[in-house]
Amino acid sequence: QYTIDKIAAGEVIERPGSVIKELVENSIDAGATAITIEIKEGGMSFIRITDNGCGISKEEVPVAFLRHATSKLQTADDLLKIASLGFRGEALSSIAAVAQVELITKQEDALTGTRYQIHGGKEISNEEIGAPLGTTIVVRNLFYNTPARKKFMKAPATEGSYIYDLVCRMAMSHPDVSFKFIMNGTDKLFTSGNGRLKEIIYHIYGRDITNNLLEIHAANDQVKITGYLAKPSISRGNRSFEDYYVNQRYIKSNILTKAIEDAYRTFVMVHKFPFTVINFEIDPSLIDVNIHPAKRELKFINEPDMYDFTYISVRKALLFKEL
Ligand code: ADP
Ligand code: MG
Contact assessment for residue 104 and residue 113, using Cβ atoms and an 8 Å cutoff: yes
Contact assessment for residue 29 and residue 3, using Cβ atoms and an 8 Å cutoff: no
Q: In what order do the strands lie in the sheet with 34-40?
A: 122-129, 113-119, 100-106, 134-140, 46-51, 34-40, 178-183, 186-190
CATH class of 208-322: alpha beta
Where along the chain do its domains lie?
2-190, 208-322
pLDDT for the residue 130 = 96
For ligand 1, whether the C-beta of 69 sits within 6 Å is yes
pLDDT for the residue 267 = 86
CA 304 – CA 310 distance, rounded (Å): 10
pLDDT for the residue 76 = 46
For ligand 1, whether the C-beta of 54 sits within 6 Å is yes
Contact assessment for residue 129 and residue 8, using Cβ atoms and an 8 Å cutoff: no
- Region of residue 21 (left: phi > 0; alpha: psi -120 to 50; beta: else): alpha
- Residue from 92, 114, 137 whose mutation best tests the ligand 1 pocket (most atoms within 8 A of CB): 92
How far does residue 302's CA lie from ligand 1's centre (Å)?
Answer: 33
pLDDT for the residue 1 = 47
Nearest CA to ligand 1 atom 23: 27
Helix (H, G, I), strand (E, B) or coil at 111: coil
What backbone torsions phi and psi does residue 178 show, to the nearest 5 degrees?
A: -85, 125
Residue pLDDT tens, the chain, 323 long: 456 666 566 667 889 999 999 999 999 999 999 999 999 999 999 999 999 999 999 999 999 998 876 777 555 455 444 444 445 678 999 999 999 999 999 999 999 999 999 999 999 999 999 999 999 999 999 999 999 888 888 899 999 999 999 999 999 999 999 999 999 999 999 999 999 999 999 999 999 999 999 999 999 999 999 999 999 988 888 888 999 999 998 989 999 999 999 999 988 776 789 999 999 999 888 888 666 655 578 889 999 999 999 999 999 999 876 54
Name the pTM for this structure: 0.92
The stretches of 84-155 forming alpha helices (DSSP H) are 91-97, 147-151
Residue 26 CB partners (closer than 8 Å, separation 6+) = 91, 92, 135
Nearest CA to ligand 1 atom 4: 70
pLDDT for the residue 323 = 45
pLDDT for the residue 148 = 87
User: Residue type at 290?
Assistant: N
Asked whether this complex has an ipTM greater than 0.90, the answer is yes
Query: Positive or negative CA dihedral for 92, 71, 29, 280?
Result: positive
CATH class of 2-190: alpha beta
CA 316 – CA 73 distance, rounded (Å): 39
pLDDT for the residue 285 = 84
CA 127 – CA 233 distance, rounded (Å): 59
- Do the first three CATH levels of 2-190 and 208-322 match, i.e. the same topology? no
How many residues are given for the chain?
Answer: 323
Contact assessment for residue 135 and residue 105, using Cβ atoms and an 8 Å cutoff: yes
pLDDT for the residue 84 = 46
pLDDT for the residue 151 = 86
Residue 89 CB partners (closer than 8 Å, separation 6+) = 66, 67, 68, 69, 70
